[in-house]
Structure 1
Amino acid sequence: MKKYFGLVALVLISFIMQSTVLQFLQIFGVTINLVLVVLVVISLQTNEVTGAGLGFILGFLTDILYSQFFGVNSLLFFCIGYLAGRISEDVYKFDYFTNLYFVLFGTLFYHIFFYFIHYFLKIGSEAILITLTPILIEVVLNLIILYPIFRLEKSIFKKLKIN
């Protein structure tokens, strides 16, 4: 249990930063989705159970703070955490480019299914084409923030001898 204190601290700090500081650091009206990046990186380093559980918790907290329709973020983060953890057994997970691809696909997966769910629930999804530019900007921002998060998480795993 003591081994995972560093990871819990990283998750809590990332969630607090996402909900406070990063809300004011917008580029072209888009903020970095730090929670998604941390979820993907940790899920790749652990397994599908940890990824799914962490994804559900982070999605639940995100739903509480931001969502007008409760459960969408919980479901999507759960799926992303599970898939990244599941596939992590078949890839070299300590490679930066592996994490880069997973953050890229995780961000795209999140937005595609977010708008898909909102479309079928008829929740303000008329302007999906207008949101393509912000999605691409968020993908780029998430890939930029990935490197420091990946290095930090790798040092935590090495120091605590988790993997």
Structure 2
Amino acid sequence: MRGRNLRWLIILCIVIFNFILQSTVIPHIAVLGVVPNTALIIVVSLAILNGKREGAVVGIIAGFLQDIFFSPVLGVNALIYFLIGYFIGIMETKIYKDSLIAPFIFISLGTVIYHLLYFIIMYFLSMNSYFYDLIRNVIIIEIIYNVILSIPLYKWLLKKFTVSSIKFGGK
């Protein structure tokens, strides 16, 4: 039990540290006004590595932090990251985790899904958003940026947080 609590404490610290970086340093490395979504990278990576529960919980925490400080509507990012973390985490047992192809595909897909869901929610909340401009000016650049940054981050998370699937002693 103690090991599990320590693991969640470390993950919480990573999410908070990422949030601090994402709100202070990362805006200064924008490419064409687009910044990488490192919270999404962490949520997707941990969902790939450790399944739907971890992906969903980390998604809620990371999304809620963003909602509190940056979102006009509380809970939108938490809901979107939760859904992405949960549904990618469902496929965890079918993914070869040592390959960089899985994070490449799922982070690209997660980026598109994030923006699509965000647009739909904001549309129904009568918040102005233009999807064509979003695709043309943000999503493509963000996918490239996210995938590039995901390589070292995923490798580090793979080393630190992979749950061993080899079990001895029948338990």
Match of 1:52 among 48, 52, 56: 56
**Corresponding position: 1:129 with 2:132:** yes
Q: Distance in 2 between matches of 1:155 and 1:74?
A: 26
**1:47 CA displacement:** 1.7
Q: Is the 8 A contact 1:59 1:77 kept in 2?
A: yes
**Corresponding position: 1:153 with 2:134:** no
Q: Is the 8 A contact 1:6 1:156 kept in 2?
A: no
CA RMSD of aligned residues (A): 1.6
Q: Distance in 2 between matches of 1:64 and 1:46?
A: 26
**1:23 CA displacement:** 1.6
Q: For structure 2, which runs of at least 5 residues remain unmatched after alignment?
A: 165-171
**Corresponding position: 1:26 with 2:24:** no
**1:4 CA displacement:** 4.6
**Identity, % of aligned pairs?**
31
Q: Normalised by the size of structure 2, how large is the TM-score?
A: 0.86
Q: Is the 8 A contact 1:51 1:81 kept in 2?
A: yes
Q: For residues 123 and 89 of structure 1, do their structure 2 counterparts lie closer, same or farther at Cα, with a shift above 3 Å needed?
A: same
Residue of structure 1 equivalent to 2:43? 39
Aligned length: 159
Q: Distance in 2 between matches of 1:12 and 1:3?
A: 14
SS of structure 1 residue aligned to 2:29: coil
Match of 2:145 among 97, 119, 141: 141
Structure 2 counterpart of 1:57, which letter?
I
Structure 2 counterpart of 1:55, which letter?
G
Cα deviation, 1:98-150, whole Å, max 9, x if unaligned, reads: 1110100000000011111111221012x221121211111110011011101
Structure 2 counterpart of 1:132, which letter?
I
Rg (Cα) greater in structure: 2
Residue of structure 1 equivalent to 2:108? 104
Structure 1 counterpart of 2:144, which letter?
V
Q: Distance in 2 between matches of 1:65 and 1:55?
A: 16
**1:155 CA displacement:** 2.1
Structure 2 counterpart of 1:62, which letter?
Q
**Corresponding position: 1:71 with 2:53:** no
Q: Distance in 2 between matches of 1:3 and 1:55?
A: 16
Structure 2 counterpart of 1:46, which letter?
N
Q: Normalised by the size of structure 1, how large is the TM-score?
A: 0.90
Q: Distance in 2 between matches of 1:7 and 1:60?
A: 15
**Corresponding position: 1:2 with 2:9:** no
Q: For residues 128 and 151 of structure 1, do their structure 2 counterparts lie closer, same or farther at Cα, with a shift above 3 Å needed?
A: same
Moved more, 29-38 or 88-97: 88-97
Asked which structure has the greater RCO (Cα within 8 Å, sep 6+), the reply is 1
Residue of structure 1 equivalent to 2:169? none
Residue of structure 1 equivalent to 2:21? 17
